[in-house]
Homo-oligomer: A and B are copies of this chain.
Amino acid sequence: MVSIIKPRKKKILEAVIRDYINTAEPVGSRTLSRRYDLGVSPATIRNEMSDLEEMGYLMQPHTSSGRIPTQKAYRYYVDEIMQIKKLAETMRRDIHKGYLQAGQEIESAVSHTANVLSTLTNYTAVVLAPRVSRFNCKHLQIIPLIRNRVLVVMVTIEGIAKNIEVNLSAEVDDAMALKMSNVLNSILKDVAFQNFGTDLIDSISELTPVEKQLLDELVPTIRDALLESETDVTASGFKNLLNYPEFNSVDKIKNLVDVVEAKPLLAKVMIDGAEKDEHNNRVIHVSIGDENDNQHLKEFSIITSTYEREGLPVGAFGVIGPTRMNYSQVSSILDAIREELNANIMKLLK
């Protein structure tokens, strides 16, 4: 599937990509021979670059300017050239310390992750909170608010709390709420929230028709609201992207704002990425420019990873930036955060 590129071409291609990632300027043959130790003259480099252009890896913004990598080149670089280096030990330790200070609340861990990611990478970070729907219910409680409105508090076995407000078709008083809580707790204890169903409610005998009706309403509503709430994305470091020449005009920045504010879209991208990775046995997922389904994302690259509980992914996080992204460095950082997060979540939740 992957076309084989001769070593010298490969070396030149890598140099072009590296240089362009650093400078954002089209790269010419003379610059290349000056800055990199390629062992051949500019003229030879010119010939090779001409070939690489023919092959679709490079392109010229204008005749007689240097060349820039195509998205195909980035894909080749990510798949065949770069390697994910392990982050320096000192850095990993700093990351670890940061998490210790961040506090144990899930929300703190999530926002801390977003901050660390955006600070280390200098791109914009996006983080998906743990998908509570995949966790098992330890405790569930219904608290009446006012009239027909109740608060449902859910606690997972790991001690993660989640609450949802629901409007029901009839008024609920304290006694009813308690009874309904007890019924649901007995049925749903140790069940994953996403598997909540009303099937078992029929088997409970001592329910009034109204109570049964309310429970029938409540269970699917809770499940849906829970799934809905899981597209909440925490973003950090929007400002970082403003430093790149790719976003040097107000129009481009408007487009950028659209992307960063489209939280459900970003959630979808991360979830899709995670699923593709499960197939490929990869832990870092890279989506480059046009590879993104969504129109708004065609000029961005997104690198994502997941964190896990008991070997199953429960959350995702990633970085969004221009297609001219430092794929290698970002991958290393994501890898380190992933390890820290897995270790940390395990520790936190066990």
Contacts and interface: CB of A to CB of B under 8 A. Distances in A.
B167 A145 contact: no
A143 B155 contact: yes
A160 B149 CA distance: 10
Contact of A159 (B139, B145, B250, B258): B145
A253 B160 CA distance: 38
B153 A143 contact: yes
A242 B104 CA distance: 38
Contact of A153 (B163, B242, B248, B253): B163
A149 B349 CA distance: 12
Contacts of A163: 153, 161, 163
A14 interface: no
A155 B105 CA distance: 21
A160 B143 CA distance: 11
Interface in A153-195: 153, 155, 158-161, 163, 165, 167
B143 A159 contact: no
A151 interface: yes
A257 interface: yes
A282 B159 CA distance: 48
A155 B161 contact: no
Contacts of A250: 242, 247-249, 253
A62 interface: no
A261 B153 CA distance: 30
A279 interface: no
A147 B155 CA distance: 13
A242 B251 CA distance: 9
Given A247-B250, A248-B250, A161 B151 contact: yes
Interface in A111-148: 139, 141, 143, 145-147
A141 B139 CA distance: 14
A97 interface: no
Nearest to A160: B145
A138 to B, nearest CB: 9
A256 B105 CA distance: 31
Contacts of A167: 104
Contacts of A159: 145-147, 149
Interface of A: 104-105, 139, 141, 143, 145-147, 149, 151, 153, 155, 158-161, 163, 165, 167, 238-239, 242, 247-250, 253-254, 257-258, 261
27 contacts: A104-B149, A104-B167, A141-B141, A143-B153, A143-B155, A145-B155, A145-B160, A145-B161, A146-B159, A147-B159, A151-B155, A153-B153, A153-B163, A161-B163, A161-B165, A163-B163, A238-B261, A239-B254, A239-B258, A239-B261, A242-B253, A242-B254, A242-B257, A247-B250, A249-B250, A250-B253, A253-B253
Given A105-B165, A147-B159, 18 more contacts: A104-B149, A141-B143, A143-B153, A143-B161, A145-B159, A145-B161, A146-B158, A146-B159, A149-B159, A161-B163, A238-B261, A239-B254, A239-B258, A242-B250, A242-B253, A242-B257, A250-B253, A253-B253
